[in-house]
A = this chain, B = another copy of it.
Amino acid sequence: MEYSRTDRTTLVRAPRRGVYDRERIHAILDEALICHVGFNGPDGRPFVIPTAYGRDGDRLYLHGSSASRMMRDLAGGIPICVTVTLIDGLVLARSAFHHSVNYRSVVLFGEARLIEDPKQKERGLRLFTEHIIPDRWTAVRAPTEQEMKATTVLDFPIDEASAKVRTGPPNDDDADYALPIWAGVLPCAIRYGAAIPDERLDEDVEIPEHVREYRRPGPSESAG
């Protein structure tokens, strides 16, 4: 199933890179750890702030301190743009001009809504935490009432959505293939190292499987 295209989400210049398929967009959102949220400050000038998020079907949950300027701005229902980007490799062409980057990005437009219902708020926080690290929510101390009050959770519907994807080798000009210049792709990905226990951790507390075996959903698992 696809998200409907709008003027803002329809790619003009490189239409073959445009992706509107719901599952592929969700897979990119699930693999990435953070998004960049764009919105206008009170003076009408743009801000772009990195933040984590969780996904719940066709919505994202954003969260922050109830005291944060950004959370107050966003809760007001102003237009926002949420962008998520995964970098998969450097595309090294024979000409400077055709250098590129392999990437998968998602751009979402819409408005966020303050979640007031305590059950949805808790669900939002759980999915937010599980987006960062699955199986963590039930392993840790749950939020107190005071902590819930200190946290704002926003519901951002995924509605006006598109992805843009570049894969594969460089696209050099025909004449340049004869040049004796190395060309190809230097692949890259985020890697997670060995967990560093907190210095104040009791030695008896073993590292749990959800930390030891941590990895994000990758393209091979999410590709349809």
Contacts and interface: CB of A to CB of B under 8 A. Distances in A.
Nearest to A180: B205
Interface stretch (A17-25, A64-72, A112-120): A64-72
A46 B46 contact: yes
Number of copies of this chain in the oligomer?
2
Contacts of A92: 133, 136, 195, 211
Main secondary structure of the interface of A (DSSP, over half): mixed
Nearest to A194: B187
Given A13-B67, A45-B109, A48-B82, A196 B185 contact: yes
A204 B50 CA distance: 45
Task: Report the interface size class on chain A.
Answer: 35 or more
Interface of A: 8, 12-13, 33-34, 36-41, 44-50, 52, 65, 67-69, 79-83, 85, 87, 89-90, 92-97, 99, 101, 103, 105, 107, 109, 125-126, 129, 132-133, 136-137, 139-144, 147, 151, 169-170, 172, 176-177, 179-202, 204-208, 211, 214
